């Protein structure tokens, strides 16, 4: 079975909804356990990695995508 790829700062879609109604979570800590924060109500939960990988559907927004293309607002040409 293929391992799911995710990293710190990613927004992931979970199989079950959080009690607030949102099923989008942000990964805020990684290790043997993974801390995720609900995008809807900002509540955080510590989940064992195996349970997280089982209940994660897919990565919605990757942290690498948002920081990969910074704008050139600070550079000006005369």
Task: Tell me what pLDDT residue 2 has.
Answer: 66
User: What is the residue-averaged pLDDT of the chain?
Assistant: 84
CB hemisphere CA count around 68 (13 angstroms): 6
Cβ atoms of residues 39 and 25 within 8 Å? yes
Task: Tell me what pLDDT residue 3 has.
Answer: 72
pLDDT > 80? residue 45: yes
| Average pLDDT for 48-77 | 76
Question: What are the distances in angstroms from CA 78 to CA 5, 27, 74?
Answer: 44, 42, 13
Would strands 44-48 and 33-38 be described as parallel, antiparallel, or unpaired?
A: antiparallel
Q: Per residue in 41-54, is it b (16+ CB within 10 Å) or e — as a string?
A: eeeeeebeeeebee
Task: Tell me what pLDDT residue 43 has.
Answer: 94
| pTM of the predicted model as reported, rounded to 2 decimal places | 0.74
pLDDT > 80? residue 71: no
Query: Helix or strand or coil: residue 37?
Result: strand
């Amino acid at each position: 079975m293929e391992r799911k790829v995710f990293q710190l700062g990613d927004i992931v879609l979970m199989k079950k909804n959080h009690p607030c109604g949102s099923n989008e979570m942000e990964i805020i800590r990684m290790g043997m356990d993974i801390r995720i924060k609900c995008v809807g109500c900002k509540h955080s939960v510590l989940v064992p990695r195996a349970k997280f990988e089982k209940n994660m559907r897919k990565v919605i927004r990757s942290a690498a995508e948002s920081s990969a293309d910074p704008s050139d607002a600070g550079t000006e040409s005369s």
